[in-house]
């Protein structure tokens, strides 16, 4: 067999973020050179719906449309209509693979929980109406997210940057979801997340960077270092090295890890198959 580089999928990357404004093309070139063949770009607010779509089309990537829970307070109610319109307009766009990033954040203080819940439910209904899977933001919110999924049946998807318990993980998997693992895996103190990544059924695992966020351990900078001007931006080219950590935890080869997690990403977001 030829020694082709394994094709990784970064199932969650915010390539539209301002952190990449200065060197986006170089970031993408490094990802490709590292063997990351496909990226999924989830939008976080209505102002970025066309941005992620344009990036996906310009660079042969995939995108998702949604309003992120941390952006719900600054969003207008009409942004849900803008989402409905965009989903209808791009319904037949092969690069539109999910509704996301949506969900609930129970960690950041001061957010309007009732408003988050309302936006979450409305966006689940839009996913259902458009027969699209969802990409979920989960932070101290797994039970509330699961309750929403039991009320509004969607076509599965990904619980991204998963950080819940094994019981919660199994409940997501039972509802047809895969769980996203990224930079957090690379910290030895992340005992629970590393245990989940080691023990969950292999079909449940997808890889992601969440770049520019969640830098892996080798890019991590303390607050003091950041104040001193050191960067800690994550980028999609880091995915294979994060995958190597997963390979170590599972006892898999690198090629096996790429093949398994990419197949799982395609199962979670079926439109990726054609890209």
Query: How far apart are CB 14 and Zn ion at their closest, in Å?
Result: 6
**Which listed range, 55-63, 93-101, 191-199, 234-242, lies at the site for Zn ion (CB under 5 A)?**
93-101
| Binding mask of the shown chain, residues 97 to 126, with x at each position contacting Zn ion by CB under 5 A | ----x-------------------------
Beta carbon nearer to Zn ion, 47 or 199: 47
Nearer to Zn ion, 36 or 247 (CB): 36
Candidate ranges 53-61, 96-104, 145-153, 172-180; the one touching Zn ion (CB under 5 A): 96-104
As given in the structure block, the two tokens for residue 245 are 């950590």
Cis ω for the linkage preceding 101 (within 30 of 0): yes
The pair of three-digit structure tokens given for residue 231, joined into one six-digit string: 């960067």
Burial 96-116 (b: 16+ CB within 10 A, else e): bbbbbbbbbbbeeeebeeeeb
Give the nearest distance from C-beta 165 to Zn ion in angstroms.
21
H or E stretch at 150: helix 142-151
Min separation Cβ 20 and Zn ion, Å: 14
Cβ closer to Zn ion: 6 or 42? 42
Residue number with CB closer to Zn ion (79 or 101): 101
Answer for the pair 236, 16: CB distance below 8 angstroms, yes or no: no
Q: How far is the CB of 66 from Zn ion (least distance, A)?
A: 10
Interatomic CA distance for residues 115 and 104, integer angstroms: 10
Q: What is the DSSP letter of 1?
A: -
Which neighbouring-strand residues pair with 2?
none
Window contacting Zn ion (CB under 5 A); options: 57-65, 94-102, 140-148, 195-203:
94-102
Sign of the alpha-carbon torsion through 231, 236, 58, 3: positive
- 264: closest CA among 155, 172, 180, 165? 180
Q: Which is nearer to Zn ion, 79 or 210 (CB)?
A: 210
- For residues 185 and 220, the answer to whether their CB atoms sit within 8 Å is no
Q: Tokens at residue 67, please?
A: 């309003």
User: Within 197-236, which residues bind Zn ion (CB under 5 A)?
Assistant: none
CB of 100 to Zn ion, least distance (A): 8
Q: How far is the CB of 152 from Zn ion (least distance, A)?
A: 21
Stretch that binds Zn ion, among 20-28, 95-103, 167-175, 228-236 (CB under 5 A): 95-103
Give the residue with the Cβ less far from Zn ion, 239 or 247.
Answer: 239
What's the CA gap between 42 and 242, in Å, rounded?
Answer: 20
Give me the residues that bind Zn ion (CB under 5 A), please.
Answer: 101
């Amino acid at each position: 067999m030829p020694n082709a580089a394994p094709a990784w999928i970064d199932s969650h990357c915010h390539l539209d973020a301002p952190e990449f404004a200065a060197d986006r093309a170089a970031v993408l070139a490094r990802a490709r050179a590292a063997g990351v063949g496909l990226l999924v770009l989830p939008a976080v607010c209505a102002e970025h719906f066309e941005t992620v779509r344009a990036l996906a089309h310009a660079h042969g990537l995939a995108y998702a449309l949604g309003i992120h829970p941390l952006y719900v307070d600054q969003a207008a109610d009409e942004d849900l209509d803008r989402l409905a319109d965009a989903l209808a307009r791009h319904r037949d766009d092969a690069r539109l693979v999910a509704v996301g990033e949506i969900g609930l954040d129970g960690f950041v203080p001061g957010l309007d929980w009732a408003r988050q819940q309302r936006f979450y439910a409305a966006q689940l209904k839009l996913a259902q109406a458009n027969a699209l899977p969802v990409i979920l933001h989960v932070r101290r919110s797994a039970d509330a997210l699961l309750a929403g999924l039991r009320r509004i049946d969607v076509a599965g998807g990904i619980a991204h940057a998963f950080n819940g318990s094994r019981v919660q993980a199994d409940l997501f998997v039972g509802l047809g979801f895969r769980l996203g693992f990224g930079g957090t895996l690379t910290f030895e103190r992340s005992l629970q997340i590393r245990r989940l990544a080691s023990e969950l059924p292999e079909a449940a695992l997808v890889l992601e960077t969440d770049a520019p966020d969640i830098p892996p351990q080798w890019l991590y900078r303390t607050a003091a270092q950041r104040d001193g001007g050191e960067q800690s931006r994550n980028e999609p080219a880091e995915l294979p090295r994060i995958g190597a950590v997963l390979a170590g935890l599972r006892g898999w080869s690198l090629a096996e890890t790429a093949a398994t997690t990419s197949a799982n990403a395609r199962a979670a977001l079926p439109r990726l198959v054609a890209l």
